[in-house]
Amino acid sequence: MAVTESLAEEAHGPAGAVHEGILRRQSARESSARTYARALPIVPVRARGLTIEGADGRRYLDCLSGAGTLALGHNHPVVLAAVRQVLDSGAPLSVLDLATPVKDAFITELFRTLPPGLAGRARVQFCGPAGTDAVEAALKLVRAATGRTGVLAFTGAYHGMTAGALAVSGGAPEVQAARLPYPQDYRCPFGVGGPRGAELGVRWTESLLDDPKSGVPLPAGMILEPVQGEGGVLPAPDDWLRRMRRLTADRAIPLIADEVQTGVGRTG
């Protein structure tokens, strides 16, 4: 009761008091494993489009957009209408992996957007709500399918914050995956950039896989981002991606395309 009264009094006080009070309680109650909150001490209370309003009365431009999940911005009217329609329909909100009309409609629309050659043989797996869950599932899948354990990953990569996803990310403190050069102009590891730099990266990868003394056994899979996000918003050249697909297919290496941040039409 005393806590409730204290919060009520705070809510009617100056905006700064509300802001500081919430942050103080967060620091006292939540784990130190917090990430964004430690670097960005704001308290969002309302949002629309690109703008977030904080408890301190300030307005912020949201350039992160939920790590790409809010492609239409915060609280877009079309999205809100769709959410309300489902809630008002009485549809079940938690049915594990059972089929529902809403889920069926979503998958149908998703397959409609895929290239015909992929849609005809694609399969969908619903993982947890975070992108790192999808990466973990993909890593487990390729290891189970091949019976192998090693993974090929790329410098500058970011795949998530769980153990397996961190291990194949570019900044991993301990190397648990073979690192390959990602094509880019500004910081090309070969010092040339452009198509020539991408070609050298392909040849490096081929040599690593085909040389029995490279120290890199045939891996369970290769994971890459068609557009690196945390690495600097680096789109991979189309030809380089095709070469990666060919060289992995020729060696029976599953290829994982991590498009958590940039997939589903978010690149235009």
In whole angstroms, give the CA distance from residue 240 to residue 197.
10
Size of the chain in residues: 268
Domain boundaries, the chain: 2-68, 92-124, 125-257
The gap from C-alpha 91 to its chain's centroid, in whole angstroms, comes to: 28
Q: Report pLDDT digits (tens) over 227-255.
A: 998 888 899 999 999 999 999 999 999 99
Query: Which class for 8: exposed (0-12), middle (13-18), buried (19 or more C-beta within 10 A)?
Result: exposed
pTM for this predicted structure: 0.81
Are the CB atoms for 178 and 219 separated by under 8 Å?
Answer: yes
Token pair 């003394």 in the structure block, residue = 213
Q: What is the pLDDT of residue 162?
A: 79
In whole angstroms, give the CA distance from residue 160 to residue 170.
11
> What residues of the chain score a pLDDT lower than 50?
1-8
Q: What is the pLDDT of residue 161?
A: 77
In whole angstroms, give the CA distance from residue 163 to residue 160.
8
Q: What is the pLDDT of residue 203?
A: 96
Would you identify the CATH topology of the domain 125-257? Aspartate Aminotransferase; domain 2 (3.40.640)
Residues paired with residue 182 on neighbouring β-strands, in sequence order: none
Q: What is the pLDDT of residue 65?
A: 84
Q: φ and ψ at 264, to 5 degrees?
A: 55, 45
Q: What is the DSSP letter of 130?
A: S
Angle, CA of 164, 170 and 174, to the nearest 5°: 60
Continuous H helices in the chain: 2-11, 15-29, 36-39, 77-89, 101-113, 116-119, 131-146, 163-167, 194-210, 238-250
